[in-house]
Amino acid sequence: MHHRNRVLVTGGRGFIGTNLVRALAATRPVRVFDSLERSSPTGWSDGDVDSIHASILDDSVLPSALEGVDSLVHLAAYGSVVESVKDPTANFHTNVLGTFNVLHAAANAGVRRVVFASTGGALIGDATPPVNEDSLPKPISPYGASKLCGEAYCHAFAMSRGLRAVCLRFGNVYGPHSAHKKGAVTMFIKALMLDEPIVIYGDGSASRDYIHVNDLCAGIEAALDSPLQGGEVFHVASGRETTVLELANILRDAAGKPNHPIEFRASRVGEVARNFAAYDLARQVLGFEPKRRLEEGLAETWQWFADHRDIVLSAKTSDS
């Protein structure tokens, strides 16, 4: 049966996907496509929505997965900079080949809209922030390169096949259902829970743009429903520069442990020094406006982790 507005979410069982599926399911039929290799340990159950357990590297499964699908959010990816430096081949297969498979299948299926999960910091590389859609991409990690390839294919399929694919460059996303992640927010929270030192790579001056997953999901929904041609790129971020040390301090306060020890280690290859993004274009075209202040969002996230302590501490972490 053809649903006018059915949306397929690849990686729909991951951190962002779990939150997005919950948000989308309130207004439209959702189908999830996920290998379950890096799924969130919380926030979903097997029968909650129509789901297909398969890999985006298996292009034979994609055509049937796209039957009756109006739009597609492509989140499935290996999300770690550090992991991509250690194993660029795995990153290439999932992020470049996998994304090509998804876009090619979507073009063949006549999908109305594709939203591709891209990245701001890693894709652009070391540049003086704030970055925006006019910044010249010069990735310094294989992960950043893989997302730039994905954007290139979105644009190419938009121009050559009329595929209305839109690229959203996400900031650093945090929030509930992220117990399995290896990003700074999750790692700092776990260190606080376990009374182990917070580990900071570098001197703590490196900066990022942290966006709450609910704000990000609102941006994805706006992109799904906006009348765009395809090939557009938008930064979906908070517009606020936060150093890693500031992040640690906000979380120490949220946990009620303002003097919790911090351990500094050598900085890691492939990670950009400073990053935050201006989201003016997304505001203008998509009506995107992040609602949650970082202090408030991180306090809520700390509380979520505290409420799910047992699951959180037993969750196997994945780099993506």
For 250-279, how does the pLDDT look when each residue is reduced to its tens digit (9 = 90+)?
999 999 999 999 999 999 999 999 999 999
C-alpha to C-alpha distances, 78 to 37, 99, 261, nearest whole angstrom: 10, 11, 31
The pLDDT-based confidence of 319 (bands split at 50, 70, 90) is low
Measured in degrees and rounded to the nearest 5, phi and psi for residue 17 equal -55, -45
Hey, what are 284's tokens?
């203008």
Helix (H) or strand (E) run with residue 68 in it: none
Q: What pTM was estimated for this model as a whole?
A: 0.97
Residue 2 has pLDDT above 70, yes or no: no
13 vs 38: CA distance, rounded Å: 8
The pLDDT-based confidence of 316 (bands split at 50, 70, 90) is confident
Q: 10 Å Cβ neighbour count for 118?
A: 26
143 is catalytic: yes
Residue that wins the pLDDT comparison between 83 and 316: 83
On average, the pLDDT of the chain sits at 96
What pLDDT sits at residue 29?
Answer: 97
Using a pLDDT cut of 90, give the percent of the chain over it. 95
What pairs with residue 74 in β-bridges?
Answer: 10, 116
Angle between helix axes 213-225 and 15-24 (nearest 10 degrees) is: 60
Measured in degrees and rounded to the nearest 5, phi and psi for residue 306 equal -60, -40
The pLDDT-based confidence of 216 (bands split at 50, 70, 90) is very high
Hey, what are 190's tokens?
């776990």
Domains of the chain in sequence order: 7-173+210-236 (3.40.50.720), 179-209+240-274+293-314 (3.90.25.10)
Tens-place pLDDT, residues 87-113 = 999 999 999 999 999 999 999 999 999
Which candidate in 143, 153, 210, 279 is catalytic? 143
What is the arithmetic mean of pLDDT over 126-144? 96
Q: Are 94 and 100 in contact (CB under 8 A)?
A: no
C-alpha to C-alpha distances, 219 to 73, 82, 147, 235, 259, nearest whole angstrom: 12, 27, 18, 10, 36
Residue 317 has pLDDT above 90, yes or no: no
Residue 318 has pLDDT above 70, yes or no: no
Find the DSSP H helices in the chain.
Answer: 15-24, 62-65, 81-86, 88-92, 98-109, 121-124, 142-161, 184-194, 213-225, 244-254, 280-286, 294-307, 309-314
261: preceding bond cis by omega (within 30 degrees): no
Q: Are 169 and 148 in contact (CB under 8 A)?
A: no
Q: Any idea which residue has 């730039």 for tokens?
A: 148
Measured in degrees and rounded to the nearest 5, phi and psi for residue 182 equal -115, 15
What pLDDT sits at residue 223?
Answer: 98
Q: Are 93 and 29 in contact (CB under 8 A)?
A: no
Angle between helix axes 244-254 and 184-194 (nearest 10 degrees) is: 40
312 vs 310: CA distance, rounded Å: 5
Using a pLDDT cut of 70, give the percent of the chain over it. 98
Q: 10 Å Cβ neighbour count for 160?
A: 9
CA angle 80, 152, 273 (to 5 degrees): 40
What pLDDT sits at residue 1?
Answer: 42
What is the arithmetic mean of pLDDT over 25-42? 97
What is the arithmetic mean of pLDDT over 193-213? 97
Residues in the chain: 320
What pLDDT sits at residue 232?
Answer: 98
What pLDDT sits at residue 3?
Answer: 52
DSSP, res 149: H
Residue 120 has pLDDT above 80, yes or no: yes
DSSP, res 129: S
